[in-house]
């Protein structure tokens, strides 16, 4: 029996649409990730448990785990008879990399179970392909940090899919999921097919500025570049009172704020735990729409997908 854990992620981080992704873990050690348990069985079977398991499709062929099993077996040219138990602790359609968690944990579990026939680059490419099945196109800004940990920049040049970039260890990341759902596919469809030259130039300046600031460890400068000119202007209409919330959070002392992935989860960045707690309390009172919703104060998860048993 093998047990694998994969953490939640913040995709895009505002400035890096489809280019930046960050793995996170709550400071209170609460579970914000998916766990896969795999063991030999008479045939292939999926069992779903966990806080958000009821959100999963009842038909097992609609479950992303089945897709992972099918593509993995095709890749290694062998069917494996296993029982896979998915402990689902990230809500689907939340903007926290729910599908990436399931994909990463299950593929790593299958690979370890079969004595690692696939390399990390082969696994990552397979993860990106499966993400594309859900969102409509191949992208790595959730699966790369989920699999590898830390802050990842997506390069996607031949066999160099992504690489770690430095992150500020004192930055505290707050994520708030209101309890509602956003379709990644629909969130991508609302984006324009063309952007103005001025927007493209400014976006390039912000992204390159953020990367430069990260490598040169200039925190204040890095925070100035966390702006989303690509997705936020179009996606914020799905988040009620987004502008007002953003202004309030920034006035409270956040150095960064944005939509996590496709939303509806929002994130903010602080350097002070006292301010982080105040923002967390405000978001809990003013942003959550359903009882399932939550606010988590997090740190960067530098390990990614790991064997835990």
- Tens of pLDDT, residue by residue over 237-290, are 989 999 999 999 999 999 999 999 999 999 999 999 999 999 999 999 999 999
Tell me if the bond preceding 152 is cis, omega within 30° of 0: no
At residue 22, φ and ψ (nearest 5 deg) are -135, 130
pLDDT tens digits, residue range 215-249?
999 999 999 999 999 999 999 998 999 999 999 99
pTM assigned to the model: 0.94
DSSP letter at 193 equals S
Q: Put residue 150 in one of left, alpha, beta given phi > 0 → left and psi -120 to 50 → alpha.
A: left
Q: What angle do CA 293, 149, 46 make, to 5 degrees?
A: 60
Positions of CATH 3.30.230.10 in the chain:
2-165+302-307
> CA-to-CA distance for 69 and 81, rounded, in angstroms?
10
Res 209: pLDDT: 98
**Residue 123 to residue 111: CA distance in whole angstroms:** 8
What number of other Cβ atoms are within 10 A of residue 41's Cβ? 12
Coil, helix or strand at residue 250: helix
The answer on pLDDT for 309 being more than 90 is: no
Residue 87 has pLDDT above 90, yes or no: yes
User: Residue 138: what pLDDT?
Assistant: 78
Mean pLDDT of 66-91: 96
- Taking CA atoms, 153 is separated from 145, 207, 269, in Å, by 9, 11, 19
CATH superfamily of 172-299: GHMP kinase, C-terminal domain (3.30.70.890)
Query: Comparing C-alpha atoms, which of 91, 70, 90, 95 is closest to residue 80?
Result: 70
Residue 164: pLDDT over 80: yes
Nearest Cα neighbor of 23 from 270, 261, 271 is 261
CA atoms within 13 A on the CB side of 193: 0
Query: How many C-beta neighbours within 10 Å does residue 88 have?
Result: 22
| Share above pLDDT 70 across residues of the chain, in percent, rounded to a whole number | 99
Asked if residue 135 has pLDDT above 80, the reply is no
Q: For strands 82-87 and 45-49, give the pairing.
A: parallel
Closest C-alpha among 167, 163, 183 to residue 256: 167
Cβ-contact 228, 14 below 8 angstroms: yes
Is 80 exceeded by the pLDDT of residue 134?
Answer: no
Mean pLDDT, the chain, whole residue set: 95
What are the residue ranges of helices labelled H in the chain?
Answer: 64-76, 98-113, 120-135, 143-148, 184-189, 197-215, 219-224, 232-235, 242-251, 273-286
> How much is the pLDDT for 137?
74
Domain 2-165+302-307 in CATH 3.40.50.261? The answer is no
**pLDDT tens per residue across span 177-206:** 999 998 888 888 999 999 999 999 999 999
pLDDT in tens, 3-31: 999 999 999 999 999 999 999 999 999 99
């Amino acid at each position: 029996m093998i047990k694998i854990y994969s953490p939640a992620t913040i995709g895009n981080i505002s400035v890096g649409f489809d280019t930046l992704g960050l793995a996170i873990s709550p400071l209170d050690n609460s579970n914000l990730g998916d766990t896969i348990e795999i063991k030999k069985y008479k045939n292939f079977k999926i069992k779903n448990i966990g806080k958000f398991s009821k959100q999963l499709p009842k038909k097992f062929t609609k479950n992303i785990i089945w897709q992972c099993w099918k593509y993995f077996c095709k890749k290694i040219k062998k069917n494996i008879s296993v029982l896979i138990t998915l402990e689902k602790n990230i809500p689907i359609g939340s903007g926290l990399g729910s599908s990436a968690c399931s994909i990463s944990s299950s593929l790593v579990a299958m690979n370890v179970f079969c004595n690692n026939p696939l390399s990390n680059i082969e696994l990552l490419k397979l993860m990106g392909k499966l993400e594309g099945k859900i969102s409509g196109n191949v992208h790595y800004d959730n699966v790369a940090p989920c699999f590898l940990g830390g802050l990842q920049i997506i390069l996607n040049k031949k066999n160099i899919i992504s690489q770690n970039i430095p992150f500020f260890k004192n930055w505290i990341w707050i994520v708030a999921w209101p309890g509602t759902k956003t379709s990644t596919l629909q969130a991508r469809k609302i984006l324009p097919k063309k952007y103005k030259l001025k927007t493209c130039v400014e976006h390039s300046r912000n992204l390159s500025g953020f990367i430069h600031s990260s490598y040169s460890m200039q925190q204040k400068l890095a925070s100035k570049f966390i702006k989303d000119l690509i997705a936020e202007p179009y996606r914020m209409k799905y988040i009620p009172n987004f502008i007002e919330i953003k202004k309030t959070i920034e006035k409270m002392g956040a150095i960064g704020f944005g939509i996590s992935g496709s939303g509806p989860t929002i994130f903010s960045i602080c350097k002070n735990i006292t301010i982080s707690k105040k923002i967390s309390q405000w978001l809990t009172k003013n942003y959550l729409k359903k009882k399932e919703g939550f606010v988590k104060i997090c740190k960067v998860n530098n390990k990614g997908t790991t064997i835990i048993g």
